[in-house]
Structure 1
Amino acid sequence: MLRQIILDTETTGLSADNGDRIIEIGCVELVARKLTGRNKHFYLNPGRDSHPDALRIHGISNEFLQDKPKFEAVVEELLDYLQGAQLIIHNAPFDIGFLNKELERTGRPPLSHFVGEITDTLVMAKEMYPGKRNSLDALCDRLGVDNSGRTLHGALLDAELLADVYINLTRGQDALLIAEDDAQLGGAVQVPGLDLRGIDLPVLQATAQEIEAHEAVLAQIDKASGGKTVWRAM
């Protein structure tokens, strides 16, 4: 059964290569596309102060983090939790870069060694909504996800919002799944024949909004099938 982890981090700044560190990790678990409530959340002592710009974004004070564990104290618990799961991250290179740098400091291999596929929802959103804003807040607004409680960035809250966003972004995949009960019915469905030759059916042209919505659904199905759809080539 597919196990997915929605993951987000907060950091002291923007550059792991220049010494910035992770201060918060939030993880939300999905199994078979359903929230399980088995989430994981860490605050971490980075051993350095947050950059003022980063502090304005996440609001996690240096004083608050002083008594929190170091990354090396929680790394085994984190890796056990993530083991084998598909990771879903918004702007994945940022978070993966920081996690790989933290793992490197503890003498461990990169995160890809411990997990399955890594899915970047920012890439997905750009493919589905080209030319539009695709930040987490923008996607929440577009997909009807309530983010009214997000006054500051927080790793666990953002992971919870991203879980809702991801389920909405991929809801077209549900149409590709045949319910087990339906598959067990078997036999042919008898449909009575109708003579439609004498009926003059009006042709209604799709609106621009309907065409855009249709293209979004096609993009979702194309994404779900791994680009194996036929209509793009016709």
Structure 2
Amino acid sequence: MKHSQAGKQVACKQTGFTLLEVLVALAIMAALSAALALLVSQVLDARQQLSEVRSKGPEQLVDFLTRTDRQLSQLVIRQAHERGQAVNPSPLTLQNNNQELYWVAAGQWVLPLQDYASRLRLWRLSWNKEQKTLLLASSGLLDAADKQVWTVVDELEKVTALNWAFYRDGAWQNTLAGSFPKGLRLSITWQDEDYQRLILLPELMFITPQAAATNKGAGDAVSEED
């Protein structure tokens, strides 16, 4: 009987952990946790550095021009007003010594603007020569009685030169005067390198009063025949 109890005590002692074993296990776990934390920190730092390099590299330029292209390709005939005056009397307008381009686009861009009822947005691509910054901004207040409230969508720094060209009648021209152009060429100098972006503009249908009267007369004629 005594031998059986002694055997059980020995078995119990063998199945447990000594204090030294517990301390060794805790030390190993602490070392592994520290190594894992260091690895995660290095991965996050590498990602942040890569993101900074990409944001300052050509991809930043491509992203900016792509956003601008997307909004210009959705241009619509719509006048916007500020303090009772038309901001863009034509669908595409250059202002401020040709440093600002205005247009209205019907896009699906979600912005924190005050006009949530309409997808129409007034867009402005402007170049600040002193700050060397090209800004793409938008406003939903197409018929603002006061100053337009602008939201900056994207910006491109280190732009030292900007030039526009518009394609109409089979040639590139430096003015918007005349018929609506079929294309736009944006030339900029960014980080001491020259770049160009060709943008295809949408086909616009202009309805003149004479054409509207003709269409109305045709509609009346059809109604009389019916």
Shorter-chain TM-score bucket reads under 0.3
Larger relative CO (CA 8 A, sep 6+): 1 or 2? 1
Larger radius of gyration: 2
Query: Which structure has more helix as a fraction of its residues?
Result: 1
TM-score with structure 1 setting the length: 0.24
TM-score with structure 2 setting the length: 0.25
Query: Which structure has more strand as a fraction of its residues?
Result: 2
